[in-house]
């Protein structure tokens, strides 16, 4: 019991110090299954702790259920190009939709990737 607890503690301390499971296996000569099992449990626990802290302490935190999935429908344009286009076209106010369309049409060819 004591040696198993010491082994588990040593693995967790090494993980907290940023060591990779392979480094721990090589250094301590512990069985792979033991190290990877503890590393997996440690990572899951850390993830849960971080998520819980963020949801309790950050006003605008979105839980992982609200994050967009990895989807072919979401691409780099959704994350970057539209933001650049919006930033550049909104440098001045547009009173009409036609004014905004014209500014967007002028700005689009200068966006990165075009």
Q: Are 34 and 7 in contact (CB under 8 A)?
A: yes
Residues 13 and 52 in one domain: yes
pTM: predicted TM-score of the whole model, two decimal places? 0.44
Q: Looking at the domain assignment, is residue 39 inside a domain?
A: yes
Q: What are phi and psi of 62, to 5 degrees?
A: -100, 130
Q: Looking at the domain assignment, is residue 17 inside a domain?
A: yes
Residues 36 and 80 in one domain: no
The pLDDT value recorded for residue 11 is 93
Q: Looking at the domain assignment, is residue 50 inside a domain?
A: yes
Query: How many domains does the structure of the chain reveal?
Result: 2
Q: Are 57 and 87 in contact (CB under 8 A)?
A: no
Give the integer Cα–Cα distance in Å for 67 and 27: 38
Q: What is the pLDDT of residues 41-85, one digit of tens each?
A: 888 888 888 888 888 888 877 776 777 666 666 666 667 777 888
Mean pLDDT over 25-46 rounds to 91
Q: Looking at the domain assignment, is residue 67 inside a domain?
A: no
The pLDDT value recorded for residue 1 is 39
Domain limits at 100? 76-110
Q: Looking at the domain assignment, is residue 36 inside a domain?
A: yes
Mapped onto helix, strand or coil, the DSSP state of residue 12 is helix
Mean pLDDT over 18-36 rounds to 93
Q: Looking at the domain assignment, is residue 66 inside a domain?
A: no
The pLDDT value recorded for residue 64 is 67
């Amino acid at each position: 019991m004591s040696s198993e607890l010491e082994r588990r503690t040593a693995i967790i301390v090494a993980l907290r110090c940023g060591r990779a499971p392979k480094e721990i296996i090589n250094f301590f000569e512990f069985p792979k299954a033991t190290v990877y099992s503890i590393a997996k449990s440690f990572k899951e626990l850390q993830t849960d702790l971080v998520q819980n802290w963020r949801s309790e302490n950050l006003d605008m935190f979105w839980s992982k259920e609200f994050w967009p999935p990895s989807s072919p429908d979401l691409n780099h344009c959704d994350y970057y190009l539209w933001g650049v286009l919006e930033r550049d076209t909104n440098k001045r106010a547009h009173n009409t939709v036609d004014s905004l369309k014209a500014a967007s049409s002028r700005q689009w060819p200068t966006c990165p990737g075009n």
